[in-house]
Amino acid sequence: MSTPAAVTAEATSIAPVVGRRQAGGPRVSKRALGYTLLVVLALVYIVPFAIQIATTFKTDPDATGNPLSLVPNPFTLAAWQRLFAGSTGNYPLYFFNSVFVTVTVTAGRVFFDSLAGYALSRLQFRGRGALFNAVLAVMAVPGVVLLIPKFLVLKQVGMYDHYSGMIIPLMVDAAGVFIMKQFFDSVSISIEEAARIDGAGVFRTFWSVVLPMARPALITLTILSFQGSWNEFTYFLIATQSEAKQTLILALARLSSGQLGSGTQFPLRLAAALFATIPVALVFFAFQRHFVRGANEGGVKG
């Protein structure tokens, strides 16, 4: 069996175990209480998004006058039209930037993280142990304390305000390397060895034998990277300056922090926020199971 036990075990343990103890279950009142609790809690978590969506179709006075109402009165597309009219920024461009950067970063991470994770797990070379300890150490460095020096490095190497500066530094992340290494540690080496005995080179074995086997871990990594780089804010804040390189999240933050007499304009701001949330939401609902697993793995890593 070559399925990675560590990963699948996690996945199955998350899956609901409905109905195991239905016979002789708790009394009705307890059940009712449980449901009431759940529903109240769910409302706390769902209503803000519902209000957000409703408000994007409201007029400014309606939004401030009836903040709780889920029915826009009157219904208007003004906020959305304004968002894409270009006067508050070039949102299609920001969307493109976000997609471009996210996709490239994710592709890079999946490839380079698994390369490095594989090497650290399987290949025997001098300095491997020290290198892995370095990865562990680097994982602990909090991103926000390096804003100024990262900016300096980008400037020094001439990558400031370029796509390269937004992408390359994010292409490898220590946490991803760690996840991949843990994964390879947990799978059997026998198939690879068979391939190697058949005369395949190291890279060949990695590419055509190991990677296909690593699918579950790769999916987890893809999702974590996608979500992480799409939502990335602070790094892009210091890595770029021009509007041409602005990502959606960055544009959203600036739209909201800019003070200049623009007023509160909540329908517009909430529409922009919703627009920036939709892609991650779609990915989330499509790959929910993997998200759940990713959260647990990412968590263990810090």
Partner 1 sequence: MKSSSGRRLAAVAATASLALLTAACGGGGFDNGGSSSSAPTTEKGPVALKMLIASSGDAETNAVKAATAAWAKTSGNTVDVQVAQDIKQQLGQAFAGGTPPDIFYTDAARFPDYAKAGALYAYGDQVTKPDDFYPALKSTFTYDNKFYCAPKDFSTIALQINNKAWKAAGLTDGDIPTTWDQLHAVAKKLTTGKQTGLAIGDTRDRIDAFMVQAGGGLTSKDGATITATAPENVQALEFVKSMLADGSAKFPKELDAGWAGEAFGKGIAAMAMEGNWIKGSQKNDYPDVDYQVAELPAGPKGKGTLLFTQCWGIAAKSTHQAASVDLVNSLTAVDQQLAAATAYGVMPSRTSAKAQYEQKFPEDKAFVAGGEYGVGPVNKPGFDSVLADLDTGLQGLKTGDPKAILASFQKNAEAALK
Partner 2 sequence: MSNIDTTVPTTVAPWRPRGSGGSGKGIRAGEGRAGWLFVSPMVIVLGVFLLVPIIMAIWVSTLEWNGQGSPFAGGAKFVGLHNYQSLLVTDGLARKDFMLSLRNTFYYVMFVVPLQTALALFLAVVVNQRYLKGRSFFRTAFYFPSVTSSVAITIVFLFLFQNSGAINKLLSFVGIKGPQWFADPRGLFQVAADKLGLVDIASPPVGLTGNGVLGLTWWDWISGPSVALMAVVFLVVWTTAGTFMLMFLAALQDIPVEVEEAALLDGVGAWQKFRYVTLPQLRPVLFLVLTLGLIGTWQVFDQVYLLGGGNPAKTTLTPAYLSYRTGFNDFNYGNGAAIAFMLFIIITALTLLQRYVLRDKDAIAEKRGRRAQLRGAGAR
**Cβ atoms 294, 178 nearer than 8 A:** no
Q: Which does 59 bind (CB under 5 to 8 A by kind): partner 1, partner 2, none?
A: none
Question: Is 255 a binder of partner 1 (CB under 8 A)?
Answer: yes
Interaction mask 109-128, partner 1, x per CB under 8 A: ----------------xxx-
Torsion angle of C-alpha atoms 276, 281, 287, 288, degrees rounded to 10: 140
Total length of the chain: 302
Distance CA 143, CA 149 (A): 11
Site for partner 2 in 44-83 (CB under 8 A): 44-46, 48-49, 51-52, 55, 63-64, 67-68
**Cβ atoms 179, 109 nearer than 8 A:** no
Question: Is 35 a binder of partner 2 (CB under 8 A)?
Answer: yes
Question: Is 260 a binder of partner 2 (CB under 8 A)?
Answer: no
Question: Is 190 a binder of partner 1 (CB under 8 A)?
Answer: no
Q: Any idea what the Cα angle at residue 285 is, between residues 174 and 278, rounded to 5°?
A: 85
From the CB of 231, what's the least distance to partner 1, in Å?
Answer: 19
Q: Which does 243 bind (CB under 5 to 8 A by kind): partner 1, partner 2, none?
A: partner 1
Given the structure tokens 């826009």, which residue do they identify?
A: 72
Q: Any idea what the Cα angle at residue 180 is, between residues 177 and 185, rounded to 5°?
A: 125
Q: Chain-centre distance of CA 252, in angstroms?
A: 17
From the CB of 220, what's the least distance to partner 1, in Å?
Answer: 28
Closer CB to partner 2, 87 or 285, in the complex = 285
Task: Tell me the window of 28-36, 93-101, 111-119, 156-164 that interacts with partner 1 (CB under 8 A).
Answer: 156-164
Site for partner 2 in 186-245 (CB under 8 A): 186-190, 193, 196-197, 201-203, 206, 227, 230-231, 233-234, 237-238
Question: Is 22 a binder of partner 1 (CB under 8 A)?
Answer: no
Distance CA 294, CA 110 (A): 14
Task: Tell me the window of 74-82, 99-107, 150-158, 211-219 that interacts with partner 2 (CB under 8 A).
Answer: 150-158
Question: Is 256 a binder of partner 2 (CB under 8 A)?
Answer: yes
Closer CB to partner 1, 157 or 189, in the complex = 157
Question: Is 281 a binder of partner 2 (CB under 8 A)?
Answer: yes
Could you report how far apart the first and last alpha carbons of the chain are, in Å?
A: 30
From the CB of 295, what's the least distance to partner 1, in Å?
Answer: 32
Interaction mask 116-145, partner 2, x per CB under 8 A: x-xxxx-xxxx-xx-xx-xxx-x-xxxxxx
Which ranges of the chain does DSSP label H, i.e. alpha helix? Answer: 5-14, 28-55, 60-65, 78-85, 91-121, 128-139, 147-156, 163-167, 174-186, 190-197, 202-205, 211-213, 215-231, 234-239, 248-257, 266-286, 288-301
Question: Is 83 a binder of partner 1 (CB under 8 A)?
Answer: no
- Quick check: helix, strand or coil at residue 39? helix
From the CB of 214, what's the least distance to partner 2, in Å?
Answer: 14
**Pick from 110, 114, 92, 112: nearest CA to 102:** 110
Question: Is 168 a binder of partner 2 (CB under 8 A)?
Answer: yes
Answer for which of 33, 37, 157, 281 binds partner 1 (CB under 8 A) is 157
